[in-house]
Amino acid sequence: MTDGRRRKVSLEIFNFQEGLDKKDSEKLKKYLKEVLKKKGFTSVNYDISIVFVDDEKIRELNKKYRKKDKPTDVLSFNLGKDPKNRIIGEIYISIPTAKKQSVENNKSLLDEIVFLSLHGILHILGYDHKHPSEKKEMEKETQNLLKYWV
């Protein structure tokens, strides 16, 4: 910024696929900020972007970074820390895949996006599900944090 004010982003949603309307995007941001607060982070401790993309874009990212040439629902990237020691992360969500999954899971699109966003946040915070014990811990934390979604 050129006006001298401090930049305070903390959590941004880039809605390239018309995934959510403005009201639902704000509800999602509020919820995810609450999740991060419950995990011990304040808005000055993180800078996380959530990007809604199509299957083609998420397939491209999945192929490039995970060597899997297929679309997926969510990809998250922990980009380390910036000079101010804030966690930097990006979460990509395929809206077409989220729409399909919301129907399969009998959820609203918003609820599916909340679930995928939470999954991405947990990955950025260091949770994983490669091994059964990690998977169990991540699932438990997911259920614990989903209760704050209303």
Spell out the domain ranges in the chain. Answer: 11-146
**pLDDT score of 8:** 53
As a whole number of angstroms, the distance between CA 126 and CA 118 comes to 12
Asked whether the predicted pLDDT for residue 62 surpasses 60, the reply is yes
Fold adopted by 11-146: Collagenase (Catalytic Domain) (3.40.390)
**pLDDT score of 9:** 55
Average confidence (pLDDT) over 34-48: 91
The DSSP secondary structure of 89-129, one letter per residue, reads EEEEEEHHHHHHHHHHTT--HHHHHHHHHHHHHHHHTT---
**Contact present, 98 and 73 (Cβ < 8 Å):** yes
Q: Which helix (H) or strand (E) holds 50?
A: strand 46-53
Share of the chain above pLDDT 70, in %: 94
Average confidence (pLDDT) over 98-126: 96
pLDDT, tens digit, for every residue of 4-25?
Answer: 344 455 899 898 777 788 999 9
End-to-end CA distance of the chain: 35
**pLDDT score of 43:** 79
Average confidence (pLDDT) over 61-76: 96
**pLDDT score of 18:** 75
